[in-house]
Structure formats: structure tokens, C-alpha cells
Chains A and B, each alone.
Chain A
Amino acid sequence: MSFSVFIDGCLVIGILTLACLCLATKHLFTAIVLFVSLGLMVAIAWVRLGAPDLAIAEAAIGAGLTGALLLATWRQLSTEPANNDADTANKSGDENVPHP
């Protein structure tokens, strides 16, 4: 009995810290990556709570597809819109992420 409470305890602490980190990090890309890993941790939590259907759905939709949509929009938001000069158009997301 105490072992399963230990597992659940770690899972819950993991989920809560991931949520806090996800909203507190400086860079958006890291926030999105943290959110996707939060989605996978929650999928494990659904399995622990006896809901395998939801685990599959959460992993596939909540973590996978939402993560893909967020990254697609993030990449688009970080590239300047094409209407100003063309040379900034190819300043893709990678450069401006490392330096704050």
C-alpha cells in the first residue's frame, strides 16, 4: 500500500513542478517542451487512476497534437511577418532563442 502512495506522490509532485516551471520559464520554446512532458506525465497519472482510454487520448491529443500545434505557431510567431523586408524572413526561430 505505501509503495503505491509513494509512486503517486512522486507523480503528483512531478506534475505540479512541471506546471509551475512551464509557466515560469523565460523562453517560450522551453515552456512548450515542458508542457508536452507535462502532458505525458498526466497520461501516466491517468493510467495510475485506472483510465487507460484517457491515457491514450491524453498522450496522443493532449501531449502530441497540442505540442505540434504549439510548436507550429511558436515557429510562426518567432519569424517576422513577410511584409517587412525579405532578409528577416529567413531569421528562423533558432537564432533568437539561445540569446535571451
Chain B
Amino acid sequence: MFHTPNLKEHDHANELSVITRILCAIAIGTLSLSLIIMLIVTDNPSSVLPALVQQQLTQSGVQNPVTAVLLNFRSYDTLLEIGVLLIVAVAMLPNSNFISNINSDMPGNNPSSGRLVSVVTNAQVNPTLEAVLRWLVPMIVVMAGYMLWTGAALPGGAFQSGALLAGAGVLVQLSGRLQFCFTSTIAKLLATIGLIAFMVVAVGVAPTTGVILQYPTELAGPLILLIEIAATLSIATILLLLYNSLATQIPEMSPKPLASNKQPSASNKQPPAQE
């Protein structure tokens, strides 16, 4: 904890001695046990909030209580939440522009200048993954659209459909056929569209209802759907950007191509395939 974490797999540099490990284990064990006992003993009075949510649900414009809380009652939290995602996206952004000018001088890859998605010409395509994706990606995109739409009434919503779209993007990138470059202006716009839509709606409704982030009741449903669509786009773009800047950090200028087929990484449903 107090030393810099080391990066080699089997590097036992600053391994804690056995005694300190046991002491740590005992200390953490007693603390957790006492916390568990405390939690079991005190019977918690049920909070007033769920009843309040049920009451106000009719005016919130959506039927699904979780979406109502996320995008209407506590919408300020979700606004800051997308801000957190934007922080990490910006922190990892320039790395991809460093990579892109490496790829651009690679023979065969057309320079991925300003375009978000560009086809990789002489990519080593993974045939099996390619065949599966021909079926899987359209289904995921339709599923994400459905998830977004039913978010108002059934479990679903912006975060889930954004994650699904990002999963589809990860699979497409793994198949090697397409290559994403996230320094293009379209990518930055997509990453910030969620925040922009949220801010515009939040300030736009203020003159009519007198309070920021308070939607007029009859317009609440459509406004929430508008915010959810924009949020889904920006969440999907940012999550894909996170994967892209981590996965393409290996500078491809190594002369020999990497292992014959790219290791099929975790598709978003089943655990990662075999080695």
C-alpha cells in the first residue's frame, strides 16, 4: 500500500512479511465482524423515500421508478455522473492522437485523419469472430435501442444501452476490420453530447418552471427520453474510447505482426473465450 505498485507479473519486490499480513487480516477481520454485528443488531426503520417516490412517480413522466429517480428526482447526480465519465475520457484522449499519427505512416493503413471509423485495409481479420459479428453486432445495436426505449417503463435506460453499444464497439474493434480514431471532432462532439443535452434541457426548462432541472410535468417524458438518447451516445462513445486507448497503446510499429489472431477478449455477455 505504501510502496509504488510494481508492474511485472511475478515481481515480488515489496511483498509484505507474513507477520504484517496476518496482523492486517486479524485487524480487518475484527472490524468487519463488528460492523456485521452492528448491522444485524440494529433493525433499520424503513425510510420514507420509497413511499415519496411512488407518490411523485405520476408527475415524473416515466413509470420505471429507478429511471424516475435517476433522471428526474436526482438528475443533478446523473449530470455530475456523466461529468465523471468526461473527465476520464479527456484524461485518456491525447494518447489516441499520439497513436493515430503512428498508424498513419504505417504502410497499408490509410491515414485515419479526421474520420471516427476507418476501414483497416490489410488487417489480419479473425475469420470466426468476423462471422459471429456479422450476426451479433446488429442484434446488439437493436437490443441497445430497445433497452433505451423501454427504460421509461421497464428496467433499462441510458447507462445499460450505452454499455451495450460500447460492448458492440469493442467486439468490432477486436475483429480488426474497423479502426476507431477518437481525436476527430465528431468523436469529441459525441463524447460531450450527453452533457450538452443535459445542460440545455436543465437551463431551458428554468424560465417556464422557475427552477433549474425541474421539467414541466406534461413535457417530462419526452424531455427525459431526449436526455437519455444523448446520454446513451456519449456513454457508448466514452466507454469505447476507454477501451480503444487502452487496447491500442501497444505501438504497432513492432516489425513482426503480433500473435496470429488477436486474443478474443471478453464479449460483453459470456466470460472471455479460451486462450
Residue positions of A touching B, CB distance < 8 A: 27-28, 33, 36-37, 40, 52-53, 55-57, 59-61, 63-65, 67-69, 71-73, 75-79, 82, 86, 89-90, 92-94, 96-97, 100
Contacts and interface: CB of A to CB of B under 8 A. Distances in A.
Contact of B243 (A28, A57, A59, A69): A69
Nearest to B275: A94
Contacts, number: 106
B159 A68 contact: no
B160 interface: yes
B160 A40 contact: no
B62 interface: no
Nearest to A56: B160
Contacts of A75: 250, 263
B52 interface: no
Query: Which of A60, A63, A75, A100: most chain B Cβ within 10 A?
Result: A60
Contacts of A72: 243, 246-247, 265
Secondary structure class of chain A's binding surface, majority of residues: helix
Interface string B173-194: 0000000000000000000000
A17 B166 CA distance: 30
Nearest to A35: B271
B118 interface: no
Interface stretch (B73-81, B215-223, B254-262): B254-262
Contacts of A65: 163, 166-167, 170, 239, 242-243, 268
15 contacts: A28-B9, A40-B271, A53-B155, A56-B147, A59-B268, A60-B167, A61-B239, A65-B170, A68-B243, A69-B246, A72-B246, A76-B249, A79-B250, A82-B254, A90-B254
B269 interface: yes
B156 interface: yes
Contacts of A56: 147, 155-156, 160
Contacts of A63: 266, 268, 271
